[in-house]
Chain A
């Protein structure tokens, strides 16, 4: 007697070299239940359903006959145990005609049967939210403190290198200067050029209404030199180098390379962080200067094309509109931004935990925090320059 509907469904696994087969149960004489077919993981859903559908009184079956089983694995053993539980059959006595190895496997699985977990979580949701908020606040405070400490350690390492220049990793510094500075020139230049173009175009459209097109030169000159050149550079560098520093140091951390340095008596700040910070500190100025130039060229080109302001007039107006101070006010921020981006990137990298997930998170943190800090510091600079009247 076939006792379950599911029995007649054949497996979907027709492809491949495994025989297409079924799993089913048959009730025999004298309290024997015959297990038939393939009791493997490929048929687990079917077997699971089969066992759920068994409508036999506990005690009406005392023996499980495995003579008709053609395939068996740990999943099958697990489900067999469940079936036995359901029918209150004690194992291993309740199994007959088990093929070679099957009863050993059932015993092995039975021994390893994990005790059910009791996740005793819960509690007042309000308290949980409050606790989470408190923890996040404490964490943010700790984070800020650690970040300042890290900056201090870097400055101390820089001072140490200043006193004994031999300790400075010159090769590494130059390498990072090339990678973060020189190789960034094309992208920084292009972006700045395009923003110059856009600025000229949009500025002209507004100023034309007052018949004051010529002031577009002032607009371009002041905004590019004071703010846009350096900010764009900082954002590009944060995305390019800040993230790469975080990823480099993060994977070194995961790989225990940072610990290895420490174990060798080397200071990771001196070996890894200082060259990077120094490289961006030095290269940010030239990069920003290049961005300024390209922005002015882009704006000038657009002024020529759209407003018929010839280059000679453009340069003439520009020298009237801006002074050396305008340029310097922009450029003086560059090393500060560079150092901050490198510091934030390195710090985020060194905070990486042991997982790929954490590495990805820290890389994001490096970029987002760097851009955020750069803009905050830029605002502070603005206020300062306003007060001193530059």
Chain B
């Protein structure tokens, strides 16, 4: 948490082109993520939401275009600089992607062990703290990922993503597969962490409730680019047919009603 708050873009993607073989996923995609905001990424299946996330964190190599995170261009970094940058963000993968041979506490400690210089006792304490902060019971620390439910695994994944107090967290469908109560809790948790820790949240989601509940702005992916980035109230008025059906379908109406 850096105490001087500014409204500057923390991630800037410009002219992004990604493709797999002959299939073009993004073409001329531009996106800015502001510091401290919760940005939701929506789009139909196959519009490359997860691909965009993976490209920003460097798991996919774009065919063209520029990606700047914290004002530094990713493509030009050497290995040491990259490692340093990677410590400043955390990623929650779709199914948690916990290391199955480690306990939950060890999973959370893994990034600390690799990247930070911490005494072992403090590391245990901090892992316990992170696990408690994401709302897992204390006895979950010693459990293995295969012994947890899907929702608990996501929470544990979030605890690992937060292990080094990152400035950005990338969440890939954090509430998919959770029951509505669990999903609402998770939304609340993300919002709360974002507020108290000053996190910037980049969240790929399908969950309309999450969009209404916690996102400051929403970016819509369609036609291989970002169609619009705006607070959700503005997007509802957007004339694009996909957005119209997205925000005025029966599920959206229900989510909006729940919000009011």
Bind each other? yes
A residues apposed to B, CB below 8 Å: 15-17, 40-42, 44-45, 48, 69-75, 78, 99-102, 104-105, 108-109, 112-115, 117, 353-358
Least CB distance, A111 to chain B, in whole angstroms: 9
B residues 176-196 near A (Cβ < 8 Å) are: 192, 195-196
Least CB distance, B63 to chain A, in whole angstroms: 28
Contact string against A for B residues 103-117, beta-carbon threshold 8 Å, 1 for contact and 0 otherwise: 000000000100011
Bound-state Cα–Cα, A70 to B147, Å: 41
List chain B residues, Cβ under 8 A from A105. Answer: 1, 196-197
User: Judging by beta carbons under 8 Å apart, are B132 and A112 in contact?
Assistant: yes
Bound-state Cα–Cα, A266 to B199, Å: 48
- Pick out which of these stretches binds chain A: B13-21, B122-130, B249-257: B122-130
Contacts known (A71-B2, A101-B198, A355-B145); A109 close to B129, Cβ less than 8 A: yes
What residue of chain B has the Cβ atom nearest to residue A106's Cβ?
A: B196
User: Does B141 belong to the interface (CB within 8 Å)?
Assistant: yes
User: Judging by beta carbons under 8 Å apart, are B129 and A15 in contact?
Assistant: no
User: Does B138 belong to the interface (CB within 8 Å)?
Assistant: yes
List chain A residues, Cβ under 8 A from B243. Answer: none
User: Judging by beta carbons under 8 Å apart, are A72 and B118 in contact?
Assistant: no
Least CB distance, B73 to chain A, in whole angstroms: 13
List, sorted by A's number, 14 A–B pairs whose CB atoms are closer than 8 Å.
Answer: A17-B72, A42-B116, A45-B122, A74-B162, A101-B3, A113-B132, A114-B128, A114-B131, A117-B141, A354-B145, A355-B144, A356-B100, A357-B100, A358-B100
User: Judging by beta carbons under 8 Å apart, are B192 and A69 in contact?
Assistant: no
Contact string against A for B residues 187-213, beta-carbon threshold 8 Å, 1 for contact and 0 otherwise: 000001001111000000000000000
List chain A residues, Cβ under 8 A from B198. Answer: 101
List chain B residues, Cβ under 8 A from A45. Answer: 117-119, 122
User: Does B164 belong to the interface (CB within 8 Å)?
Assistant: yes
Contacts known (A44-B117, A74-B129, A354-B100); A100 close to B5, Cβ less than 8 A: yes
User: Judging by beta carbons under 8 Å apart, are A112 and B133 in contact?
Assistant: yes
Least CB distance, B118 to chain A, in whole angstroms: 5
List chain B residues, Cβ under 8 A from A355. Answer: 100-101, 144-146
User: Does B258 belong to the interface (CB within 8 Å)?
Assistant: no
User: Does B79 belong to the interface (CB within 8 Å)?
Assistant: no
Bound-state Cα–Cα, A126 to B143, Å: 27
User: Judging by beta carbons under 8 Å apart, are A354 and B146 in contact?
Assistant: yes
What residue of chain B has the Cβ atom nearest to residue A66's Cβ?
A: B3
User: Judging by beta carbons under 8 Å apart, are B146 and A71 in contact?
Assistant: no
Least CB distance, A67 to chain B, in whole angstroms: 11
Contacts known (A44-B118, A48-B122, A105-B197); A114 close to B164, Cβ less than 8 A: no
List chain B residues, Cβ under 8 A from A48. Answer: 118-119, 122
Least CB distance, B241 to chain A, in whole angstroms: 36
List chain B residues, Cβ under 8 A from A108. Answer: 133, 192, 196
Least CB distance, B95 to chain A, in whole angstroms: 11
List chain A residues, Cβ under 8 A from B8. Answer: none
Least CB distance, A53 to chain B, in whole angstroms: 14
User: Does B80 belong to the interface (CB within 8 Å)?
Assistant: yes
User: Does B84 belong to the interface (CB within 8 Å)?
Assistant: yes
List chain B residues, Cβ under 8 A from A99. Answer: 3
User: Judging by beta carbons under 8 Å apart, are A41 and B128 in contact?
Assistant: no
Bound-state Cα–Cα, A74 to B80, Å: 25
Bound-state Cα–Cα, A378 to B180, Å: 59
Bound-state Cα–Cα, A42 to B165, Å: 10
Least CB distance, B115 to chain A, in whole angstroms: 9
Bound-state Cα–Cα, A179 to B196, Å: 57
User: Does B81 belong to the interface (CB within 8 Å)?
Assistant: yes
- Which of B5, B70, B165 is the one whose CB lies under 8 Å from A74? B165
List chain A residues, Cβ under 8 A from B72. Answer: 17
- Which of A78, A104, A112 is the one whose CB lies under 8 Å from B195? A104
Least CB distance, B178 to chain A, in whole angstroms: 18
List chain A residues, Cβ under 8 A from B132. Answer: 112-114
- Which of A40, A42, A112, A356 is the one whose CB lies under 8 Å from B101? A356
Least CB distance, A280 to chain B, in whole angstroms: 30
List chain A residues, Cβ under 8 A from B118. Answer: 41, 44-45, 48
What residue of chain B has the Cβ atom nearest to residue A47's Cβ?
A: B122
Contact string against A for B residues 141-165, beta-carbon threshold 8 Å, 1 for contact and 0 otherwise: 1001111000000000000001011
Least CB distance, B163 to chain A, in whole angstroms: 8
User: Judging by beta carbons under 8 Å apart, are B81 and A16 in contact?
Assistant: yes
List chain A residues, Cβ under 8 A from B131. Answer: 114
Bound-state Cα–Cα, A112 to B136, Å: 10
Contact string against A for B residues 89-103, beta-carbon threshold 8 Å, 1 for contact and 0 otherwise: 000000000011100
Least CB distance, A99 to chain B, in whole angstroms: 5
List chain A residues, Cβ under 8 A from B70. Answer: 17
What residue of chain B has the Cβ atom nearest to residue A81's Cβ?
A: B129
User: Judging by beta carbons under 8 Å apart, are A69 and B100 in contact?
Assistant: no
Bound-state Cα–Cα, A3 to B162, Å: 32
Bound-state Cα–Cα, A223 to B52, Å: 62
What residue of chain A has the Cβ atom nearest to residue B147's Cβ?
A: A354
